[in-house]
């Protein structure tokens, strides 16, 4: 008899929620919303467009943003690339970046590629608890620092960065704050205004959505400072061209709406499971 699979790697990816799968399936075939969301001259297009915009509002609601501040991407990796390279392309001066040595490869490798393009970077180190402290960020700031990029929840050690304390320091220095929230979305409350975030990377597949879809939150005031990395039809207010993947987008929107509903209950349930596990381990 086949043994039941016990899957413990939800930090790497999650299965899609059945309600996500159902919503996505409605966007693919002849009977569904298969139209091109950019086709504004017929019903197939406008139907798909309205689903895309409803999903945009669902993602925005989960992070306290305006819908027009959400740019669809293929995932958090692309969102991180768009934020950092998009900043670098438009930065005539202020070509120094700050990040941390605890970041995901999608940040570290992007920063490395920007260093080859003449940007300079500082890598903040964590304290003894694994935290990136406001004081450490403050100490790394320079006159020419233009962007600080830090993750909200660490994908390996689970630490939660005190973004609310770091944001005012970054802004006082005249820099933008980018946050990689791939591990945080739907698991801890995020309010981009309360936290003072200018750019925020998100991914659907860590929160019961499909792989291959994500978003970058771009604060209205920061939009002009980010250069597109994907050129074409001028989709997504010129920030990311490419025909919108209605089924993926609807999947991410549904996942975000479900996350908003169950975040409190999930947090409690997981805290209880963690307590039980530790209790058993220490016995």
Which residues lie near ligand PLP (CB under 6 A)?
75-77, 104, 106, 151, 155, 180, 182-183, 203, 206, 214
To ligand PLP, the closest distance from the beta carbon of 107 in angstroms equals 7
H/E element, 50: helix 43-63
Q: Which residue is nearest to ligand PLP (CB)?
A: 75
CA distance 68 to 46: 18
| Helix axes of 76-90 and 105-116: crossing angle, nearest 10 degrees | 30
Task: Report the residue number, 49 or 205, with the smaller CB distance to ligand PLP.
Answer: 205
CA distance 241 to 243: 7
To ligand PLP, the closest distance from the beta carbon of 64 in angstroms equals 20
To ligand PLP, the closest distance from the beta carbon of 73 in angstroms equals 8
Q: Beta-strand (E) ranges in 133-175?
A: 145-151
To ligand PLP, the closest distance from the beta carbon of 276 in angstroms equals 25
CA distance 214 to 249: 8
- CB atoms under 10 Å from CB of 280, counted, come to 8
CA distance 54 to 28: 17
To ligand PLP, the closest distance from the beta carbon of 72 in angstroms equals 12
């Amino acid at each position: 008899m086949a043994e039941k699979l016990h899957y413990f790697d939800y930090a790497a990816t999650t299965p899609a929620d059945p309600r996500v799968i159902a919503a996505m399936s409605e966007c693919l075939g002849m009977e569904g919303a298969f139209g091109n969301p950019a086709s504004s001259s017929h019903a197939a297009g406008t139907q798909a467009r309205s689903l895309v915009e409803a999903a945009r509002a669902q993602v925005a609601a989960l992070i306290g943003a305006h819908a027009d501040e959400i740019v669809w991407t293929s995932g958090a990796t692309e969102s991180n690339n768009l934020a950092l390279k998009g900043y670098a392309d438009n930065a005539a001066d202020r070509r120094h970046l700050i990040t941390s040595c605890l970041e995901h490869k999608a940040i570290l490798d992007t920063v490395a590629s920007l260093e080859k393009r003449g940007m300079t970077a500082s890598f903040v180190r964590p304290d003894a608890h694994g935290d990136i402290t406001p004081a450490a960020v403050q100490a790394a700031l320079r006159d020419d620092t233009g962007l600080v990029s830090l993750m909200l929840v660490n994908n390996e050690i689970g630490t939660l960065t005190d973004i609310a304390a770091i944001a005012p320091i970054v802004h006082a220095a005249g820099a933008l704050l980018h946050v990689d929230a791939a591990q945080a979305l739907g698991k801890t409350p995020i309010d981009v205004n309360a936290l003072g975030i200018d750019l925020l990377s998100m991914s659907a597949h860590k929160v019961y959505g499909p792989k291959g879809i994500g978003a970058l939150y771009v604060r209205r005031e920061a939009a002009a400072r980010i250069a597109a990395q994907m050129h074409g039809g001028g989709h997504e207010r010129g920030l990311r061209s490419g025909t919108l993947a209605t089924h993926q987008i609807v999947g991410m929107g549904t996942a975000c709406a479900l996350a908003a509903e169950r975040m409190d209950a999930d947090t409690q349930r997981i805290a209880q499971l963690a307590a039980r596990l530790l209790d058993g381990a220490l016995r």
